[in-house]
Amino acid sequence: MLSYQHSYHAGGPADVHKHLALVLLLRHLTAKAKPAAVVDLYAGNGVYALSAPEAQKTGEYQSGIAKLWDLPNPPPAFAAYLDVVKRLNPGILSLYPGSPEIAQRLLRDTDHIVLNELHPGAFTALKRWAGNDPRINTHKRDGLEALLALVPPKVRRGLVLVDPSFEMKTDYTEIPARLAKAVDKWREGIFMVWYPVLGDARHLPLLTGIAAIAAPSVIAEWSFAAAPDKGLKGTGIVVINPPWKFDSEMADTGKVLAKLLGGKHAMRWLRADDQAA
Ligand SMILES: C[S@@+](CC[C@H](N)C(=O)[O-])C[C@H]1O[C@@H](n2cnc3c(N)ncnc32)[C@H](O)[C@@H]1O
């Protein structure tokens, strides 16, 4: 369908939640000297202008990044995330980093970034944004097809980001089915999946499907105090094969986020017995 455009939602509450989790995972990957790879299957434009008509029309960033931008003494995950946003915006907040920009800024010269995007306009913007960075490879494929085609990457330490627009209802069942195969192909890979929490709880088959995969997963869900866009009640991420201590770091980060922006944050292992494993 490809009617979704992330420029309407860039920097909104869902992006803030997702990108804080991404920053935590990237910090784990770069804590060891060995090279790492990030495979971003639904990469979007790379970076977004908050002055663009799309961002101005929804104003979602006003209830997301704009509320955190001037946070005094931010706790660790917030500090690293806000540092990326501030380095992109010396002065006033006018640009918002998409997941590719966050990966590009936090990864090292020896790391690899594989970016996939199917929308022609977003892909053109992404290619322009990527420039000649030798660490970056771009692909224009269907995300689900790319999940099996691009995984595992050559560098066997890393993260796959699955951040679809969920325009197809079948995504909620197809994604876990493909993820099961991808996890089989890359047992040590970390897989992060973003999902929307809507009134009809249509994300539940996604969670049931991921829980059936033979790998531990944690889930972090933030229920908004007020809905920033029609229908979206909250935002969630699932991380398969989370790094050690990611669960407690994400729980702490979510708690602060809910305190600052309202709503409730909950963090748990998808299957209760995985916590003890
Ligand atoms: C939520 S946005 C991605 C945002 C980005 N990951 C970030 O955090 O900055 C989802 C992206 O998926 C793209 N998309 C939609 N359907 C796709 C498909 N079948 N395969 C690959 N990309 C797709 C959209 O064009 C959009 O750019």
Where residue 181 sits, what CATH number does that domain have? Answer: 3.40.50.150
Distance 164 CA to ligand 1 centre (A): 5
Q: Is residue 91 part of a domain?
A: no
pLDDT at residue 120, rounded to an integer? 97
Q: Is residue 140 part of a domain?
A: yes
Distance 273 CA to ligand 1 centre (A): 33
Q: Is the CB of 98 under 6 A from ligand 1?
A: yes
pLDDT at residue 159, rounded to an integer? 98
Q: Is the CB of 235 under 6 A from ligand 1?
A: no
Q: Is residue 53 part of a domain?
A: no
Q: Is residue 158 part of a domain?
A: yes
State which of 99, 165, 193, 229 you would mutate to test the pocket of ligand 1, scoring each by most atoms of that ligand within 8 A of its C-beta. Answer: 165
State which of 118, 172, 235 you would mutate to test the pocket of ligand 1, scoring each by most atoms of that ligand within 8 A of its C-beta. Answer: 118
Q: In the chain, how many domains are there?
A: 1
**What's the CA gap between 241 and 189, in Å, rounded?**
7
Q: How far is CA 92 from the centre of its chain?
A: 24
Cis peptide before 176 (omega within 30 of 0): no
Q: How far is CA 41 from the centre of its chain?
A: 10
**Domain range holding 220?**
17-44+100-271
Q: Is residue 175 part of a domain?
A: yes
Q: Is residue 8 part of a domain?
A: no
pLDDT at residue 230, rounded to an integer? 64
Q: Is the CB of 44 under 6 A from ligand 1?
A: yes
- H or E stretch at 22: helix 13-29
Quick one: CA torsion of 23, 167, 63, 76, rounded to 10 degrees?
Answer: -10
**What's the CA gap between 96 and 197, in Å, rounded?**
23
The pLDDT profile of the chain, 277 residues, written as one tens digit per residue, is 789 999 999 999 999 999 999 999 999 999 999 999 999 999 999 999 999 999 999 999 999 999 999 999 999 899 999 999 999 999 999 999 999 999 999 999 999 999 999 999 999 999 999 999 999 999 999 999 999 999 999 999 999 999 999 999 899 999 999 999 999 999 999 999 999 999 888 999 999 999 999 999 999 999 999 765 568 899 999 999 999 999 999 999 999 999 999 999 999 999 987 876 5
Catalytic residue numbers? 163
Distance 68 CA to ligand 1 centre (A): 24
Q: Is residue 121 part of a domain?
A: yes
pTM (predicted TM-score)? 0.97
pLDDT at residue 266, rounded to an integer? 97
Q: Is residue 72 part of a domain?
A: no
- Exposed e or buried b per residue across 185-214, where buried means at least 16 C-beta atoms within 10 angstroms of its C-beta: ebeebbbbbbbbbeeeeebebbbebbeebe
Tokens of 187: 């047992």
pLDDT at residue 257, rounded to an integer? 97
Output the DSSP codes for 104-150.
Answer: HHHS-TT-EEEEE---HHHHHHHHHHHTT-TTEEEE-S-HHHHHHHS
pLDDT at residue 213, rounded to an integer? 97
Do 203 and 236 form a contact (C-beta atoms < 8 A)? yes
Residue 242 is classified by DSSP as P
